[in-house]
């Protein structure tokens, strides 16, 4: 399964270089399936999982993010997962598939 490091797609190249120096023993992966294809989204951490209705405030200019919303009294970025995957595909920032 191909892996996409979400932080690498969302952050600047300078911040990416700093984070690449960190060795991680464990990966936190969210599996996203679309049209029969699975892609692993590698995230730094999972803070919480909630089911809640919200209104997205549109945001422009940030690839991979469709906007933000207030969820459980916290401002939260809403990912544009297809856009994030497209950005990763175009920049070839897929991580190697795990065996």
Q: What is the pLDDT of residues 27-79, one digit of tens each?
A: 899 999 988 889 999 998 888 889 989 888 887 677 788 899 999 999 998 88
Share of the chain above pLDDT 90, in %: 15
Whole-prediction pTM? 0.69
Predicted confidence at residue 32, as pLDDT, reads 92
Spatial contact of 44 and 25, defined as CB atoms under 8 Å apart: no
Residue 71 class from Cβ within 10 Å (0-12 exposed, 13-18 middle, 19+ buried)?
Answer: middle
Q: How confident is the model at residue 99 (pLDDT cuts 50, 70, 90)?
A: very low
50 φ, ψ (degrees, to nearest 5) = -135, 155
């Amino acid at each position: 399964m191909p892996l996409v490091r979400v932080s690498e797609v969302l952050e600047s190249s300078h911040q990416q270089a700093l984070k690449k120096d960190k060795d991680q023993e464990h990966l936190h992966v969210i599996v996203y399936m679309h049209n029969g294809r699975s892609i692993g989204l590698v995230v730094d951490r999972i803070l919480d999982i909630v089911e809640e209705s919200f209104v997205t405030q549109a945001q422009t200019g940030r690839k991979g993010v469709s906007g933000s919303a207030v969820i459980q009294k916290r401002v939260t970025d809403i990912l544009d997962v297809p856009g994030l995957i497209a950005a990763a595909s175009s920049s070839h920032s897929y991580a190697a598939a795990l065996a």
